[in-house]
Amino acid sequence: MKQKKSVKILSRLFIILCLIVALAPIYWMLNTSLKGQAEIYSKVPTLIPQHPSLDAYKYLLTETNFLTGIRNSLIVAIFVSLFSIVIAYPAAYAIARIKFRGKRTFSKAILFTYLLPTSILYIPLYILVANCGLTDNILGLMLIYPTFTLPYVAWVLIPHISSIPYDLDEAAIVDGCGRLRVMYQIVFPLALPGIISTTIFAFAMCWGEYLYALVNITKTSMQTFPLVISGLIFGDMYPWDQLMAGAILASVPILIIYILANSSLVGGQTAGGVKG
Amino acid sequence: MKLKKVAALGMAALMAASLGACGGSGEGDGGAKADSKSLTVWIEKVFSDEANTAMEERIKSFAEENDVNVNYEFISATDFVTKLNAAIEAGSNIPDITTGAVTKVVNYYPSNPYMDVTDLVDEINAERPYMQSIYEGSKIEGKNYFVPMTSSSTMMFIRKDKLEEAGITEVPQTWDEVFEVAEKISDPDNGFYGLGMGCGPTDEDAENMFRMIMWNQGGYVFDKDGNITLDNDAAKEWLEKYKELYDKEVIPPAASTWDSGGNNTSYLMGESGIVFNAPTLYNTMATDEANKELLENTEVVNLPAGSDNNTTMGFAAGLSIMEGCKNVDLAKDLIRYCMDDEWYNEYLEITAPVYAPVFQDSVGNGIWAEGINAQVVSYAENALGYYGYPVESIQGRAIAAKNMFTFPMSKMLNQVVTGAEDADGAIAGAISAIEEVQGTVE
């Protein structure tokens, strides 16, 4: 009994330690965002702001186009993450479930595409977007971002779909279901936790993307928020309070999405779905 | 069914929002003027919102007065080169006018996406003579690829109170005096170091300072013909002096990890007695009430001289016209408009002291006659140096400029203080790094 109790205490202490490690950078961002320049650069860092001020937030929200940037980022990230799921799910399903010639090559090609570094692709993609007349427009980003979200989503969904017992597909086919119905009405709901978590990750990839946005967007009204934050830097005196305020505000939408999706991220729905 | 409806509504709302957003506000495009000439201008943002606004207003007013379209955008300095490179490499959406500087131009060698604007510079110079250092320093093989507009600087920031405490009444005038004073005011036991000069392997300030100190002592990385001459006495002596100061804790121990923000942070923290930085450090102190006392205790002066000369690194910048510009005359008119005496003087007053004016008539005149403003003008007058100085060919300057981005001088300092190499070994390593760059450029 005593041993159980001490294990419980130790595990809780470990969780607390993990939480401190995970939350410390976020706390430091918040802390810095509330300080003035002099306090930020003081010899002894202060754990709690001595003269907390919301000036950095006020500046961001009233003097810059940060809110426009957030709006543009939201539009791009929502569109691209949903579009990626719509396209990548059938691809992942086909690779996970259907036997066809070249399946392994196709599957490896997806991984290879995902691993291509952005620094190689940004000029060719810029030319593509320019030829489509979409530079300086978030539509250009909507065209580019799927190049990295699609292979990522497909690659992550393949094992999710594979983990769902194939017997369920067979049973549905025996009962007269077509392949499409099996894919969308049987497997899709069961793969939903994986799909939702993958969508969130795809969203996060687009949300913080910087390089493609940087080379493709120049107009202030079209900038995504990472560009707005980067634009706050002049020379070697970084406005850390504003940069951190921007980072805090930009993390809010991601946080909300995680919280909203949390209830859907339940696994084990297929447990007991098949006998034996 | 409900879920489908919600999803459909959501997608519809998203599409509507995207279309709305994609339409944009037309900001910066000066409105649509059918059948008229147009220009696209990319300006590198400067540190002051007020200055950026003043430039924006000037461009707008040019567009209105001439009834032309001017699409302008202000781009942060950290993003500027990446964006311009992408446009140049892709060969599309290249602006007509951009912020230009010598280093920007030579970095594209053997290509040159900038137009020769020597005639325009000479025309402006005839009406209002440039400082000799700016006029000569902004030429590459006798040609101008940008119209010089501003000159930034590196100043010496000194804690007057610490000098007084040590019984020192005069601000040091030479590098030897600086090191001597730094040693006297150091108090490492109480976390105070005389000289806040970094040696992190990517410290741009250290890179520039090393070069300037070496020049002032008569040593150069290259000779006029582009031969590498880094293995010189001045370089070796300075490396050894730096190590001596570092070992004596005249320089903060953390200096070996600094980037270019390290020295100003150290000064603002009250950790360093003497630092070398752009006047942005002055602005930071001047705009924050909490730094009032530090500012009162600070003297800002031009860099000291060496035993050989007092040449400083030129940081002149201005406006360039890009090759492929379809309305060259209009682009030149816009640049002339931005160099108009009255507006230019007002603009430079906003940017003071970070930017100094580039014209000779500013020396000792108006707001430039005293205080830190006089010091930045004095710096500009001596700013004949550039990466590779005194090499003359564009190829030699390109090698030096490309090499600068690998921070060879900072790395030498870093290797010496960390004991990875002695002075000779560090110099040999730097020379071999320069030779590698030479190979790629040639």
Q: Tens of pLDDT along B226-267? A: 999 999 999 999 999 999 999 999 999 999 999 988 999 999
Sequence-ordered alpha helix ranges (H) in B24-137: 49-66, 77-90, 102-106, 118-127, 132-137
CB pairs under 8 A between A and B: 127
pLDDT band at residue B30, thresholds of 50, 70 and 90? very low
Interface of B with A in 196-235 (CB under 8 A): 204-205
Contacts 24+ apart (CB under 8 A), A248-256: A248/A26, A248/A29, A248/A30, A248/A33, A249/A57, A249/A60, A249/A66, A249/A70, A250/A70, A250/A73, A250/A207, A250/A208, A250/A225, A250/A226, A251/A26, A253/A70, A253/A74, A253/A207, A254/A203, A254/A204, A254/A207
Q: Look-up: residue for tokens 């402006």?
A: B124
Report whether pLDDT(B10) > 90: no
Q: Give the pLDDT score at B361.
A: 96
pLDDT tens per residue across span B56-76: 999 999 999 999 999 999 998
Rounded to an integer, the average pLDDT of B263-287 is: 93
Report whether pLDDT(A265) > 80: no
Cα–Cα distance list, B233 to B151, B220, B236, B240, B306 (Å): 31, 10, 5, 11, 14
Nearest-angstrom CA–CA distance, A151 and A110? 5
Contacts of A39 in chain B (CB under 8 A): 290
Name the residue of chain B whose CA is nearest to A134's CA: B22
A156 touches chain B (CB under 8 A): no
Q: Give the pLDDT score at A93.
A: 94
Rounded to an integer, the average pLDDT of B408-428 is: 95
* DSSP annotation of B362: G
Name the residue of chain A whose CA is nearest to B84's CA: A215
CATH classification number, A60-262, choose in 1.10.8.100, 2.40.160.40, 3.90.1570.30, 1.10.3720.10: 1.10.3720.10
Report whether pLDDT(A52) > 90: yes
Q: Do A233 and B76 touch (CB under 8 A)?
A: yes
CB B213 within 8 A of CB B419: no
pLDDT band at residue B313, thresholds of 50, 70 and 90? very high
Nearest-angstrom CA–CA distance, B358 and B363? 9
Closest Cα of chain B to A22: distance in Å?
25
Q: Give the pLDDT score at A273.
A: 55
Q: Do A36 and B290 touch (CB under 8 A)?
A: yes
Q: Do A237 and B260 touch (CB under 8 A)?
A: no
Rounded to an integer, the average pLDDT of A147-172 is: 92
Q: Do A38 and B290 touch (CB under 8 A)?
A: yes
pLDDT tens per residue across span B337-378: 999 999 999 999 999 999 999 999 999 999 999 999 999 999
* Closest residue to B291, CB basis, from A38, A130, A218: A38
Report whether pLDDT(B202) > 80: yes
Report whether pLDDT(B28) > 60: no
B264 touches chain A (CB under 8 A): yes
* Closest residue to A127, CB basis, from B22, B92, B269: B92
Q: Do B28 and A71 touch (CB under 8 A)?
A: no
Closest Cα of chain A to B232: distance in Å?
31
pLDDT tens per residue across span B382-416: 999 999 999 988 899 999 988 888 899 999 999 99
B254 touches chain A (CB under 8 A): no
pTM attached to this predicted model: 0.82
Report whether pLDDT(A259) > 80: yes
Interface of A with B in 231-270 (CB under 8 A): 231-238
Report whether pLDDT(B221) > 50: yes
Mean pLDDT, all residues of chain B: 90
A228 touches chain B (CB under 8 A): no
Report whether pLDDT(B18) > 70: no
* DSSP annotation of B116: P
Contacts of A235 in chain B (CB under 8 A): 47, 77, 278, 280
Mutate to test the interface with B, among A41, A125, A257 (most CBs of B within 10 A): A41
* CA end-to-end distance (rounded Å), chain A: 37
What superfamily would CATH give domain B156-311+406-441?
A: Periplasmic binding protein-like II (3.40.190.10)
Q: Give the pLDDT score at A272.
A: 54
Closest Cα of chain A to B224: distance in Å?
31
Nearest to B391 by CA among B340, B336, B438: B438
Q: Do A236 and B75 touch (CB under 8 A)?
A: no
Report whether pLDDT(A131) > 50: yes
* DSSP annotation of B114: B
Pair of tokens at residue B122 = 């000479």
Closest Cα of chain A to B268: distance in Å?
6
* Closest residue to B22, CB basis, from A41, A78, A139: A139
Interface of B with A in 42-81 (CB under 8 A): 42, 45-47, 49, 73-79
Q: Do A237 and B281 touch (CB under 8 A)?
A: yes
Closest Cα of chain B to A34: distance in Å?
15
Contacts of B11 in chain A (CB under 8 A): 82
pLDDT tens per residue across span B41-51: 999 988 788 88
Q: Give the pLDDT score at B406.
A: 87
Report whether pLDDT(B319) > 90: yes
Interface of B with A in 85-104 (CB under 8 A): 86-87, 89-93
* Closest residue to B290, CB basis, from A39, A71, A137: A39
Q: Give the pLDDT score at A1.
A: 63
pLDDT tens per residue across span B162-196: 999 999 999 999 999 999 999 999 999 999 999 99
Nearest-5° Cα angle at A268, A263 to A270: 120
DSSP A92-131: HHHHHH---TTHHHHHHHHHHHHHS-HHHHHHHHHHHHHH
pLDDT band at residue B31, thresholds of 50, 70 and 90? very low
* Closest residue to B14, CB basis, from A78, A222, A235: A78
Name the residue of chain B whose CA is nearest to A222's CA: B24
Percent of chain B exceeding pLDDT 90 equals 78
Q: Give the pLDDT score at A271.
A: 53
Closest Cα of chain B to A63: distance in Å?
10
Q: Give the pLDDT score at B5.
A: 53
Cis bond upstream, residue B129 (ω within 30): no
Report whether pLDDT(B8) > 80: no
Task: List every span in chain B annotated with CATH 3.40.190.10.
Answer: 38-153+314-382, 156-311+406-441
pLDDT band at residue A270, thresholds of 50, 70 and 90? low
Q: Do A235 and B280 touch (CB under 8 A)?
A: yes
CB A189 within 8 A of CB A216: no
Q: Give the pLDDT score at A35.
A: 92
A173-187, A248-262, B20-34, B237-251: range with lowest mean pLDDT:
B20-34
Interface of A with B in 17-76 (CB under 8 A): 36-39, 41-43, 63, 71-72, 75
Q: Give the pLDDT score at A268.
A: 53
Report whether pLDDT(B1) > 80: no
Pair of tokens at residue A9 = 């205490």
CA torsion through residues A112, A118, A119, A120, sign: positive
Nearest-angstrom CA–CA distance, A79 and A132? 19
Percent of chain A exceeding pLDDT 70 equals 95
Q: Give the pLDDT score at B321.
A: 98
A209 touches chain B (CB under 8 A): no
Contacts of B82 in chain A (CB under 8 A): 211, 214-215
Cα–Cα distance list, B126 to A11, B130, B372 (Å): 79, 9, 29
Name the residue of chain B whose CA is nearest to A136's CA: B22
The full set of domain ranges for chain A reads 2-53, 60-262
Percent of chain B exceeding pLDDT 70 equals 92
| C-alpha torsion angle, residues A118, A123, A127, A130 (rounded to 10) | 80
A37-46, B303-312, B426-435: range with lowest mean pLDDT:
A37-46
Pair of tokens at residue A230 = 């980067």
What is the topology classification, in CATH, of domain B38-153+314-382? D-Maltodextrin-Binding Protein; domain 2 (3.40.190)
* Closest residue to A214, CB basis, from B21, B79, B205: B79
Q: Do B75 and A218 touch (CB under 8 A)?
A: yes
